[in-house]
Amino acid sequence: MSSILTISRLGAQGDGIAETPRGQVFVPFALPGERVNVSLGEKKADLVAVLDPSPLRVAPPCRHFGDCGGCAMQHLEEAAYREWKREKLVEVLASKGIDVAVDEMVSCAPYSRRRAAFTARTTEKGILLGFNAALSHRIVDLEECHVVLPSIMERLQTLRELAALIARTPKPFRLGVTQTASGLDVAAEDSGKLEGRARQVVVDFVMRSGIARLSIDGEIVVEPKKPVVMVDDVAVQPPPGAFLQAVEGAEKAMADLVGGHLRKAKRVADLFAGVGTFALRLARESEVHAVEGDAAALASLDRAYRFGAGMKKVTVEKRDLFVRPLTFKEMDLTYDGLVFDPPRAGAEDQSKQIARSQLRYVAAVSCNPVTLARDLRILIDGGYQLKRVVPLDQFIWSPHLEAVALLEKPKKRR
């Protein structure tokens, strides 16, 4: 059913929200103040035409915008976009009673993402390779992308050819691509079992193409060159499909914030340490104990430390912190500083242990403002003072937001 709506505000996911007698209606790609013609659904509406455009509406730079589900906000003027994204964090913190002056957002430039998760599928007309359309399994066959590094997009045809060679299923499958110092590290998932002659054809193709490594479902098929990423001047060889911060510049900004806050700590715990994004940098000034549940990532961190130089002692521990958090007694016995960077679910149980500790300096890194606010509330209730919160726009033009929170607990008076 067609309808004319007036957009009152932006929602958390970037949709325009219209207030109607039937309740709120969410309109993707619509902006506050706009009068729009829409095709109504149950709760969402498809934008048909913008009748009265907002003065903040701009032309999106990418031809796929509005179809590809990767970006939601290319149509909003830059300053307004930055304020909308920062305000999301402010509002979530306020919902937990946390009143803090949130810093201006640290921006990331277009064409800066060093990793991308493409979807591929074989069709009668050939291979499709791109990102899924919003709320759909339909693949938008990419011709350009203003988010990922040009060095990845320049190899799009190579990646299409590789996807066609490894596909052993008519179903869509994932092709994770990371730009490393050694070349592209490609990790496929659910592409089917590659055997016999077909496997050798793929190996020969990778060798000719200059791809650093190909793995399928975690198994390394061929590795002409060890993929290497630099953590400052420390070389790290990540395992297949390893988690890395999406933008190298954002990683450095986060690490600088964390390192500056923990600079007085002699012994630091790095929880959810991954391949050593923080641990290897913190080790320039402090002894570090890195705790991580992924054995392969932890092995990469340990190897990087052992082959690195100029670092203080780094120890590692494989531990599922969701099942067995580091206890406040362990913290108080050994450390005077801590950083934790959990997945989107946050670290509720771990935060409860930190809150009971006497650790002086704590840095919380998060990719989910909602769970960050919950965890910060726990820490504040445990006696921590929230000194600073810095939002980082690592996922440009999307609703996703990174943040670093710095906390300090006053010394107990004796």
Alpha-carbon torsion, ordered 117, 121, 125, 131, to 10 deg: -30
Query: According to the model, what pLDDT value does residue 413 have?
Result: 60
Residue stretches of the annotated binding site: 245, 272, 292, 341
- How many structural domains are present in the chain? 3
Residues 103 and 122 in one domain: no
Percentage of the chain with pLDDT > 90?
95
Say which CATH number the domain at 16 has. 2.40.50.140
Residue, of 135 and 36, whose pLDDT is higher: 36
- Range 54-60 average pLDDT: 97
Residues 102 and 157 in one domain: no
pLDDT at 414 over 60: no
Residue where a domain terminates, one of 185, 200, 227: 227
Catalytic residue selected from 68, 71, 108, 367: 367
Condensed to tens digits (0 to 9), the pLDDT of residues 289-301 reads 999 999 999 999 9
Is residue 332 included in any domain, yes or no? Answer: yes
Condensed to tens digits (0 to 9), the pLDDT of residues 355-381 reads 999 999 999 999 999 999 999 999 999
Q: Which residues contact 109 (CB under 8 A, 6 or more apart)?
A: 249, 396
Say which CATH number the domain at 213 has. 2.40.50.1070
Residues 310 and 214 in one domain: no
- Range 138-145 average pLDDT: 95
User: Strands across the sheet with 9-10, in order?
Assistant: 9-10, 16-20, 23-27
| Structure-block tokens of residue 361 | 């300096």
- Range 14-18 average pLDDT: 95
What single-letter DSSP state applies at residue 206?
A: H
Is residue 309 included in any domain, yes or no? Answer: yes
- Range 84-88 average pLDDT: 96
pLDDT at 89 over 60: yes
Q: Which residues contact 221 (CB under 8 A, 6 or more apart)?
A: 194, 199, 202, 203, 206, 214, 215
| Structure-block tokens of residue 280 | 């290897």
Is residue 62 included in any domain, yes or no? Answer: no
Label residue 256 by pLDDT band (50, 70, 90).
very high
- Range 54-80 average pLDDT: 96
Query: According to the model, what pLDDT value does residue 63 have?
Result: 96
The bridge status of strand 106-107 relative to strand 385-393 is parallel
Query: According to the model, what pLDDT value does residue 135 have?
Result: 79
Q: CA-based diameter of the chain, in Å?
A: 76
Label residue 1 by pLDDT band (50, 70, 90).
confident
Residues 147 and 223 in one domain: yes
3-state secondary structure of 365: strand
Condensed to tens digits (0 to 9), the pLDDT of residues 306-344 reads 999 999 999 999 999 999 999 999 999 999 999 999 999
The region of weakest confidence among 41-55, 252-266, 297-311 is 41-55
Residues 96 and 25 in one domain: no
Query: According to the model, what pLDDT value does residue 168 have?
Result: 95
Provide the b/e sequence for 91-120 (b: ≥16 CB within 10 Å): ebbeebebebebbebbbbeeebbbbbebbb
Is residue 148 included in any domain, yes or no? Answer: yes
Residues 382 and 348 in one domain: yes
Residue stretches of the annotated binding site for S-adenosyl-L-methionine: 245, 272, 292, 341
Residues 336 and 398 in one domain: yes
Q: What global pTM score does this model have? A: 0.94
Range of the domain at 185: 115-227
Residues 187 and 278 in one domain: no
pLDDT at 130 over 90: yes
Is residue 136 included in any domain, yes or no? Answer: yes
Residue 358 phi/psi, 5-degree rounding, is: -110, 20
Say which CATH number the domain at 251 has. 3.40.50.150
Residues 303 and 399 in one domain: yes
| 289 close to 318: Cβ distance less than 8 angstroms | no
Residues 132 and 6 in one domain: no
- Range 15-31 average pLDDT: 93
Residues 173 and 279 in one domain: no
> Is the dihedral angle over the CA atoms 131, 136, 139, 145 positive or is it negative?
negative
Is residue 313 included in any domain, yes or no? Answer: yes
Residues 317 and 365 in one domain: yes
pLDDT at 44 over 90: no
Is residue 331 included in any domain, yes or no? Answer: yes
Residue where a domain terminates, one of 202, 227, 252: 227
Is residue 210 included in any domain, yes or no? Answer: yes
- Range 148-172 average pLDDT: 97
Label residue 2 by pLDDT band (50, 70, 90).
confident
Provide the b/e sequence for 223-258 (b: ≥16 CB within 10 Å): bbeebbbebeebbbbbbbbbbbbbbbbbbebbbebb
- Range 283-292 average pLDDT: 98
| 108 belongs to the catalytic site | no
> Over the chain, what is the mean pLDDT?
96
